[in-house]
Amino acid sequence: MSPGTVYTETTVYSAPEAWVIEAPYQIAIIELDSGGRVTARIRGGAVATGDRVEFIEPAATDSNPVPSFKKASE
């Protein structure tokens, strides 16, 4: 998946059962450089609208793989 820019973001405090132990956590809508948008989990620190982000491959042991991004290194 291509890198992109944070279109909008929010922090989840009241999580669904599958992720309740991880709350609070941040999700965002990412506008991909390749076109389109994707809703994704933010890992490795908070992001804000307009921040550049890069895709993170899910871990082989991840039982609930969802698209994940982290703030792009500058």
Domain ranges of the chain: 4-71
Integer angstrom CA distances of residue 64 from 21, 23, 24, 46: 13, 15, 17, 21
Q: Which of 32, 29, 45 is nearest to 3 (CA)?
A: 32
pLDDT band at 39 (very low <50, low <70, confident <90, very high): very high
Which top CATH class is 4-71? mainly beta
Residue with the bigger pLDDT between 14 and 22: it is 14
58 pLDDT more than 80: no
Q: Rounded to two decimals, what is the model's pTM?
A: 0.87
Q: Which residues lie across from 6 on neighbouring strands?
A: 30
pLDDT number for residue 4: 97
